[in-house]
Amino acid sequence: MSATPTGPLLPQPVMTRPTTRATLRADVAALLADGHRMLMVVAENAPGAVRLGYVLARPAGGPDHGAQESRVELTLEVSTDDAWVPTIADQSYPGGRFEREIRDLFGVEPRDHPLPRRLVRHAHWPRAWHPLLGERSAQTDVVPDFGEDLSAFPFLEVGGDGVYEIPVGPVHAGLIEPGHFRFSVVGETIVRMKARLWYLHRGVERLFEGRTPDDGVVLAERISGDTAVGHTLAYALACEEALGLVVPPRDRLVRALLLELERMHNHAADLGMILNDVAFGLANVHLQRVRENLLRLNDSVTGHRLLRGGVRVGGADVVALPDAGLVRAAAADVADVVRLALEHPMVLDRLVGTAVLGREDAVRMGVLGYVARASGVDVDARRDHPFVDPAVLPGGAPDAVVDAEGDVLARFTVRAREVEASARFVVAATEVLAGGGPGASAGPRPAAPQRVTRGLGVVEAWRGLLCHRVTVGADGRLVRVKVVDPSFMNWPALPVALADTIVPDFPLANKSFNQSYAGNDL
Amino acid sequence: MSGEVRVVVAVVLQTVVVVVAAPFLVGVLRQVRARWEGRVGQGLLQPWRDLVKLARKEPLQANGSTVVAWVAPVVVLGSGLLLAALVPTVTTAGPARLPADLFVVVSVLLVGTVALGLLGLDAGSAFGGMGSSRHLTIAALVEPTVLLAVYALSVPVGSTALGPIVEGRLADPGRVVAPAGVLAVVALAIAVVAETARIPVDNPSTHLELTMVHEAMVLESSGRDLAAVELGSWLRLSVLLALVANLVVPWGVATAGDGPGLPALAVGVVAVVVKTAVSGVLLATAEVFMAKLRLFRVPELLTGSFVLAFLAVTGSYVIG
């Protein structure tokens, strides 16, 4: 860890604090009470042991705290022969989910976990197979013989007169990723919904291991296709902290710009698809037209329609700056279609009051991104965990748009207004960059640290706060990359929002969340 | 030709015209939507191509399906064909021994509706059952409206047969704009939209199984069975749309007399094709600017149309 920074060093380095099984729960409780949020629990292979890191962060500039943000990692090593930790599930809901993930992938048992069911693991995996346990080797790369999925996935059966179950998926009509949903329904009203994910578990985190940080970019861009910039940026920030690289101010601004371009094209497409789900196809085709224009714009900026190739470890490259006129036109078109849709009484009737996620539930479950902001939770990593010096930002960070209703309409309008905010930012940033902009001098690349170093990258991707934790070995190769897509936090909130929603409104509710399967399943 | 033979010729011709035209009408609906959305569209012939393709394919049936899976598609198609013969589209003439009575027509509609509902239930999949449950809920609300609306139209004519009702409007065009008549036709039009699974009640082009009504019931059908079900449903759509068109604009239809001659029939064919095509364009256009109602709002819409039909009946007694 370097000396205390003078002035805001962006992003903040992670303070590592060792802890023990006996003190873990108290340490976590203290950090949570001090305004920290659980970002991730990361497990890493150590000789004969598993090293666990509980990463928490406190936003910058909160009213109760100074302007300084804080990032803390509580570390704990458990021997593989005695692999258990005291659960923190009762203190942090996301923490409990990370524990289940680690139990399935590394075999570390969370003791006294209130909901000890398997999470990542599907029933056809061989018993006692923990795919991420142990150093990567030819042996761990061998996919074992999968048996048949004999055990039925245990769903809580809802009994009673007239209750029936609807199983949906994992193969869906249309171009949707795989996920299995089990509805317990009375008439048309959903009593309970259970989602089964992790059909897309590809072992992405394992694939990073052994690559150089620069080679990992290609993989990070492909974790979730629609979040190429978000994942790559979080990955790059984490690598830069681990390697001690300083990114020139100009490249930071370019990264912020790419992040907003990604937000724009995804929001435009999703707004259209939400309207398509209420059979308002006319609005959808117009928004897909806007999306196509934005994708072509992206192509002119980084040479790739989904903005791959823009962010790299240590900087960012663009072929050309975006055409401000096209960005403005796209935002105006989106605003126009959204206005027309919301003036339509039938459309409005479908969106209002559908699938409400209350603020308390959103806070308790640690929900992120537009889903949280639509439920009145003001979280936005662009402001809370900035990576660009605010002095450089034209007009400050893009505004976080908050609504309190928590229904489909709130998620719809939050995203519509985010498109406007993003467009304003892109235009302003383009002007700054075109007028010379902040310094671009990278300075000499520092020598590799020659020891094991770690870094954390936190980014407000379009779905919400996204973070990567990277460990670089003494040989300069990646030892462990932990990816947390906001979908991991947001998926469990969907069934909560569905209480008392009717079955034919589920696709609409699901689309208004639109969480990633690939980003969640990894 | 004797009158009797002429009537049979007219009815056969009418049925053939409806069968040939029904897939084209669906093509028109899709094409109009595509053009409004700025797409090229699939062309008017595509529904026919789909039908021919499906008819050549062997139907596959889900495990555990029963004889219903075989019979229901035939019944759906049969009821569609019967409707095409009974409902005055090209001609108001009908064989005297085959009453195109209001109750007969509604019953034939209902036979098709129930067959489709049973088909959805037969394979035992959750989607089919869901579709059937919704479909029959809607049918239970729609059928009384159809019955009542046509009854209101029958009051001034003094006959519950559809042929004379259309002829009566042709003879006395004042009835077309009479308040009771307008109310009845509006009520009937809403019922037709619901009966034929169009927006805002159902979305015929959705891929979302959980929101489907009609499509959910035919998910398990394939090959020839699917072709029969699809054609049967399209026949219902075409016949009902043509009936509404004939009630609003009765001119051109070949009247009964003592059996219509070939020139009158030719005019009748052209007239009904034009009228139905125009109403199809209007329907598709209206759909483009509408969204689908929340399922629990559909009963409100249908109750509204029932009230209109009821007012029409009352009105036709009070103010003629």
Phi and psi at residue A181, in whole multiples of 5°?
A: -120, 135
Closest CA to A459 of A227, A205, A230: A230
For residues A176, A178, A184, A187, the Cα torsion angle rounded to the nearest 10 degrees is: 20
**Subunit contact A166:B210, Cβ cutoff 8 A:** yes
The torsion defined by the Cα of A41, A45, A49 and A51, in degrees rounded to 10, comes to -30
Q: Is the ipTM of this complex over 0.95?
A: no
Q: In this structure, which amino acid lies at residue B48? A: W
Low-confidence ranges of chain B (pLDDT < 70): 1, 95-98, 257-259, 320
- Predicted confidence band at A295 (pLDDT cuts at 50, 70, 90)? very high
In terms of Cβ atoms closer than 10 Å to its own Cβ (0-12, 13-18, 19+), residue A16 is: middle
Please tell me which residue of chain A has the smallest CA distance to B212: A504
Relative to beta strand A464-472, strand A478-484 is antiparallel
Q: Name the minimum distance, in Å, from the CA of B138 to any CA of chain A.
A: 14
Which residues, including other chains, have CB under 8 Å from residue A384's CB and lie 6 or more apart?
Answer: A57, A59, A60, A61, A62, A69, A465
pLDDT (0 to 100) of residue A65: 52
Extended beta strands in chain B, E state: none
pTM score, two decimals? Answer: 0.88
Q: What is the pLDDT of residue B27?
A: 94
pLDDT tens digit sequence for B74-118: 999 999 999 998 888 888 887 666 677 888 888 999 999 999 999
Q: What is chain A's mean pLDDT, rounded?
A: 86
Burial A145-171, CB ≥16 within 10 A → b, else e: eeeeeeeeeebeeeeeeeeeebebbbe
CB atoms within 10 A of CB B303: 12
Over the stretch A426-435, which tens digit does the pLDDT of each residue have? 998 898 888 8
Q: Is A150 helix (H, G, I), strand (E, B) or coil?
A: coil
Task: Kindly report, residue by residue over A351-403, the tens digit of the pLDDT.
Answer: 888 888 988 999 999 999 999 989 988 888 888 888 887 666 666 666 667 77
Strands lying side by side in the sheet with A49-58: A15-18, A70-79, A49-58, A37-46
Residue B33 contacts A where some CB pair is shorter than 8 Å: yes
**Confidence band for A466, pLDDT divided at 50, 70 and 90:** very high
Q: Please state the three-class secondary structure of B262-319 as a single string.
A: HHHHHHHHHHHHHHHHHHHHHHHHHHHCCCCCCHHHHHHHHHHHHHHHHHHHHHHHHC
Nearest to A174 among B126, B134, B207 (CB): B207
Bridge partners, residue A315, by sequence: A312
- For residue B254, the SS3 value is strand
At A2 the pLDDT is: 34
| Cβ neighbours, 10 Å, residue B191 | 28
Section A471-478 average pLDDT:
90
Per-residue confidence (pLDDT) for residue A66, from 0 to 100: 57
In which residue are the tokens 């700025």 written? B38
Which pLDDT belongs to residue A155? 63
Number of C-beta neighbours around residue B102 at 10 A: 20
A95 CA: distance to closest CA in chain B (Å): 33
pLDDT 10s digits, A8-51: 557 888 889 999 989 999 999 998 988 889 999 999 988 888 99
Are the Cβ atoms of A278 and B291 closer than 8 angstroms? yes
Min Cα separation A280/chain B (Å): 5
Residue A476 has pLDDT above 70, yes or no: yes
Nearest to A380 by CA among A464, A263, A467, A483: A464
Chain A contact residues (CB < 8 Å to B):
164-168, 172-174, 188, 275, 277-282, 285, 289, 344, 346-347, 349-350, 502-507
pLDDT at A397: 61
Q: Minimal Cα–Cα distance from B203 to chain A, Å?
A: 6
Q: What does the pLDDT look like over A481-512, one tens digit per residue?
A: 999 999 999 999 998 998 888 888 888 898 89
Which H helix or E strand runs over A191? strand A189-196
